[in-house]
Amino acid sequence: MRNQEQTRPVALEAYDSMAEAYAAAIEENPRIIYYERPAMLGLLPDVSGRRVLDAGCGPGVLMDWLLAQGADAVGVDVSANMLRLARQRLGDAAVLYEADLEQPMPFLADSSFDVILSSGTVDYVRDWLALFREFSRVLRSSGCVVFSVGHPCSDYTLNETGDYFSTELREYTWCGLGAPIVVPCYRRPFSHMIDPIVRAGFSLERMVEPVPTEGFAKVKPEEYAQLMRRPRVLCMRVRKSA
């Protein structure tokens, strides 16, 4: 059953308000281009000629990459402002839907995708069992999901409650995009990640705790040194059972 406590997507207001600034900064953000994205793309199979769902597509940067690789890309995002920017970027090259990943996606047919890509989005979804069951429904046999999430160990050390074992709604303040923006998301222990994935019929195929590339050191040497010692992101590839 879907979480009844949360009727409004937790980060919708934040992403709608910062959409323009986020889209302008995303391709220069070293945490993305020198850290999270290389790990994510390294987990993807060959997407040429395959149908790929970008779950949480934002302003369409990864969809642009998918299309350049020859994928048939479909994007969903909860933010109308992000989707507007994605349409400006992609034109008629991709199909985009406004949708909340906490809810079923009946507009997507059963067994209609080969790959699901979700970069930094599933942190905003509380009910992973329902989410990955929905992912399983729309994936073809042996399809995979590649996603990134906040590292549970890193987030735990930053958590005021000191409670590693709970799934908790937390708030981060993002700076560097104009006025500071409070962005809520869920922090959960590793067991609360793996258990719903397995129960939804997936197997963990690969897991990467990325370290930044050398390019990061050139632009932000102090943060580079921190990320070389302390994880902030976890990337996984999980495969639907045949």
Taking a C-beta distance cutoff of 8 angstroms, is the pair 80, 57 a contact? Answer: no
* pLDDT for the residue numbered 157: 59
In a domain, 134, yes or no: yes
* pLDDT for the residue numbered 149: 95
In a domain, 205, yes or no: yes
* pLDDT for the residue numbered 160: 65
Lowest mean pLDDT, pick from 36-45, 94-103, 156-165, 200-209? 156-165
Q: Could you give the number of structural domains in the chain?
A: 1
Phi, psi of 24 (to 5 degrees): -70, -30
- The CATH number that applies at residue 27 is 3.40.50.150
Phi-psi region of 81 (alpha: psi -120 to 50; beta: other; left: phi over 0): alpha
Phi, psi of 143 (to 5 degrees): -70, 165
Six-digit token string for 193: 């990640």
In a domain, 214, yes or no: yes
Taking a C-beta distance cutoff of 8 angstroms, is the pair 59, 26 a contact? Answer: yes
Phi, psi of 120 (to 5 degrees): 60, 30
Give 3-state DSSP helix, strand, coil % of the chain, rounded to 5: 40, 25, 35
DSSP 204: E
Pairing between strand 95-98 and 72-77? parallel
Domain residue limits at 214: 12-150+189-240
Does the pLDDT of residue 67 top 70, yes or no? Answer: yes
Phi, psi of 15 (to 5 degrees): -70, -35
As a whole-number percent, the residues of the chain with pLDDT over 90 amount to: 71
Interval 20-31 mean pLDDT:
87
In a domain, 140, yes or no: yes
In a domain, 30, yes or no: yes
Q: Could you please report the per-residue DSSP string of 9-36?
A: -TTHHHHHHHHHHHHHHGGG-HHIIIII
In a domain, 157, yes or no: no
All residues at 6 or more sequence positions from 118 whose CB lies less than 8 Å from its CB, including other chains: 54, 55, 56, 145, 146, 147, 148
Pairing between strand 51-55 and 72-77? parallel
Q: Using only the alpha carbons of the chain, give its radius of gyration.
A: 17
What is the rounded distance in angstroms from the CA atom of residue 230 to the CA atom of residue 214? 16
**What are the tens digits of pLDDT across the range 185-221?**
999 999 999 999 999 999 999 999 999 999 999 999 9
In a domain, 172, yes or no: no
Lowest mean pLDDT, pick from 81-90, 154-163, 211-220? 154-163
In a domain, 85, yes or no: yes
Q: How many CB atoms lie within 10 A of CB 143?
A: 25
Q: How many CB atoms lie within 10 A of CB 235?
A: 23
